[in-house]
Every structure is written in structure tokens, then in C-alpha cells.
Amino acid sequence: MKMVTSSLSPLQQTAAFPLTDYWNDSCSIEELQYAIANGAVGATSNPTIVLAVLKKELPLWRDRIHQIIAENPEADEVEIAWQVIEEMGVKAANLLISSGKMAAKAAYRCKLIRRFIEMRGQSSSKRCGLIRLLRTSR
């Protein structure tokens, strides 16, 4: 019996399966570029994911964070943290949109993200990690 091999990566095989939408569980641009190339149609983001990405990519975001602080002198740390969360999510969403692979589900979830962003004023222990990271990166 002849063995059939696939030229598709495991992620591409998953994405090709009927009725399957593969979402990347990160807003890291590097990770998302890889995911899109392998069939991803969406990405998830929340304060915990953003904190993990920010820890890894802080050199890419440090100048922007300081710019946000300078542009918003009245903002507290929580407001700054939410602005960073929003910008990281928007940057990832723009990459998905420009790839042309964004699923209908992703478009719907973008509306849900707006609601999530509107929750800025609410306290969360998850955001505290982001705030601590911002404090120590000055």
C-alpha cells in the first residue's frame, strides 16, 4: 500500500477541514503572520494574552507606550493599559483584514471587542500585570 503524504502543514490541514475556522490565540504580529500563512482566519485577544505578548515584544511597544503616556497626561495607569490593549488588538485585526482571510465570525467578534474595550473603567487583576510591566519598563 502506497503512503500518501500531504504538502500541507498541520495547521493548513486543520484550516482546510470543512466547517473549521482556525483562530490564532495571540495578537503577536509575528505569530499572527505565521498563523495567517497557515490558514488562520481570526485572532483572539484579552488582557492576559496582551500581557504575554507585551512581555515578549516590549521593545517594539516601549516607544508607543511612552507616547500614549505623553499624549494623555491625565490618564491613570489603567487607562494607559487599556489603550495599549486596544492598539495591539487593532494592529492584529488590521493584519487579518489586509490578508483577506478574515472570517464572517471574526467580523462579528470585532463588534464584541468594542464592548470589551468599553469596559476600560472596570478593575481587573489581569490588567495589574500589564500595569506592573509598564511601571518596570520606564
Instruction: For residue range 11-36, list pLDDT tens digits in order.
Output: 787 767 766 777 888 889 999 999 88
Distance CA 78, CA 80 (A): 5
Q: What percent of the chain has pLDDT over 90?
A: 18
CB 38 within 8 A of CB 101: no
Give me the residue spans of the domains in the chain: 21-136
CA nearest neighbour of 54 among 95, 25, 94, 26: 26
Distance CA 61, CA 48 (A): 16
Summary count for the chain: helices (H), strands (E): 6, 2
Instruction: For residue range 52-80, list pLDDT tens digits in order.
Output: 999 999 999 999 999 999 999 999 888 88
Distance CA 39, CA 122 (A): 35
